[in-house]
A = this chain, B = another copy of it.
Amino acid sequence: MILDERKRQILESVIKDYVATAEPVGSRAVVRKHALNISAATVRNEMADLEDIGYLEQPHTSAGRIPSEKGFRYFVDCMMENENPTDEQIEVLRQFMNDSIQEWSDVVQVVGSFLSKVTNYASFIIVPSVKFSQFQSLQLIPIQEGQALVLVITDVGVIMHRKISIPKSINSQDLGVISDIFNRAFRGKKLTELQRSDLQILREELKIRRQVIEDSLEALDSLLDSPNDEKVIINGALNMLKEPEFKDLDKLSRILTLFGEDGSLKDILPEQIKDGVDIRIGQENTAEDIKEMSLVIAGYRTAGELGKIGLIGPVRMEYWKAAGTVESVLNIINEIFKNTTSDNKLFIK
């Protein structure tokens, strides 16, 4: 559907006004605020046309117009220009990442908070399961008489530590030997590639120190066991409190619960997203729970796996700003990855 310039201007005015105020926009307001050289009556006619093709709608007869989801879609696809964060903001973020980031979990914190602070929407970051990270080393560390710590380190950092009991006869050199066995066997493999059978072979090969190895293997096993431990990190969920569309306590409650402690959000985000920044407006979302919200979402690749970052907000969203911010952040993440060899991802600094 192609719109003439005037209709586009009117559509844009309505969208900008509505996004800013959450109120229906009347014909007078369009003329007044956007200094078009036409009368309110003309705007009314044009608006009626825009309503006919489904880009605007009226809450009731005597109200102004609000953009429909279809209208937002047209705007996003054909008219919108992304608005990036200021250079200053970008610089602050980049600085922060250089200064204080040790491993992936830090990246995620910093990026998440940046996204939500800059946009005033809720941000989410999905980190692929640690199962897809590359085994780097397993360390056995004596803690005290009869106890040791199993430490599993991958390219995204220290992903687990767990205590095991060890026979008193085993000293720290023995532990070193055992660690080395693991490391030689597994280094560089993805955890998902560690078949149970591999673990089994190791079990059988190493009759000595059997119990220690058993316990270490079990620790690794338990990592592989956890069905799907994608992590979701949500920031700025309370930004939703400000949005008038969620002033209804019931809605608010459902939304905050969604963002709540259980990480149920990840089941609700789309599996497939298109390259670059993908935007899902309201009903376009398949999950029932977010059909009155919009997503601005982008994928990033880490160790060959797909992670996601994005923003979630009301349909009445500043898509230009949201998309611009997500895009910028995505670029920074990719840039950081580019600067790290695949052998040296753990500490990305």
Q: Which A residues are within 8 Å of any B CB, using their own CB?
A: 102-103, 136-137, 139, 141, 143-144, 147, 149, 151, 153, 157-158, 161-163, 172, 176, 235-236, 238, 241, 247, 249, 252-253, 256-257, 260-261, 343-344, 346-347, 349
Chain B residue numbers with a CB within 8 Å of A236 are: 261
Complex: A252 Cα to B247 Cα, angstroms: 11
Shortest CB-to-CB span from A178 to chain B, Å, is 14
- Asked if A147 contacts B260 (CB within 8 A), the reply is no
Complex: A31 Cα to B19 Cα, angstroms: 55
Shortest CB-to-CB span from A86 to chain B, Å, is 23
Complex: A344 Cα to B253 Cα, angstroms: 43
Chain A to chain B contacts (Cβ below 8 Å), 29 pairs: A102-B162, A136-B144, A137-B141, A139-B139, A141-B141, A141-B151, A141-B153, A143-B153, A144-B343, A144-B344, A147-B346, A149-B153, A157-B161, A158-B158, A158-B161, A163-B347, A163-B349, A176-B176, A235-B261, A236-B261, A238-B253, A238-B257, A241-B249, A241-B252, A241-B253, A241-B256, A247-B249, A249-B249, A256-B256
Shortest CB-to-CB span from A268 to chain B, Å, is 17
Complex: A162 Cα to B139 Cα, angstroms: 15
Shortest CB-to-CB span from A57 to chain B, Å, is 27
**Which B residue's beta carbon lies closest to that of A236?**
B261
Chain B residue numbers with a CB within 8 Å of A149 are: 153, 158
Complex: A260 Cα to B137 Cα, angstroms: 36
Choice from B176, B235, B247, B347 contacting A147 with Cβ under 8 Å: B347
Shortest CB-to-CB span from A103 to chain B, Å, is 8
**Which B residue's beta carbon lies closest to that of A347?**
B163
Chain B residue numbers with a CB within 8 Å of A136 are: 143-144
Shortest CB-to-CB span from A245 to chain B, Å, is 13
Q: What copy number does this chain have within its complex?
A: 2
Chain B residue numbers with a CB within 8 Å of A261 are: 235-236, 238
Chain B residue numbers with a CB within 8 Å of A252 are: 241
Return the 5 tightest CB-CB contacts between A and B, nearest first. A163-B347, A241-B253, A158-B161, A139-B141, A238-B260
Choice from B102, B147, B162, B343 contacting A163 with Cβ under 8 Å: B102
Shortest CB-to-CB span from A63 to chain B, Å, is 24
Shortest CB-to-CB span from A336 to chain B, Å, is 15
**Which B residue's beta carbon lies closest to that of A113?**
B261
Chain B residue numbers with a CB within 8 Å of A253 are: 238, 241
Complex: A224 Cα to B162 Cα, angstroms: 25
Chain B residue numbers with a CB within 8 Å of A346 are: 143, 147, 163
- Asked if B137 contacts A143 (CB within 8 A), the reply is yes
- Asked if B176 contacts A172 (CB within 8 A), the reply is yes
Complex: A257 Cα to B157 Cα, angstroms: 31
Complex: A144 Cα to B187 Cα, angstroms: 11
Complex: A181 Cα to B346 Cα, angstroms: 27
- Asked if B151 contacts A151 (CB within 8 A), the reply is yes
**Which B residue's beta carbon lies closest to that of A250?**
B241
Chain B residue numbers with a CB within 8 Å of A260 are: 238
Shortest CB-to-CB span from A334 to chain B, Å, is 22
Chain B residue numbers with a CB within 8 Å of A139 are: 139, 141
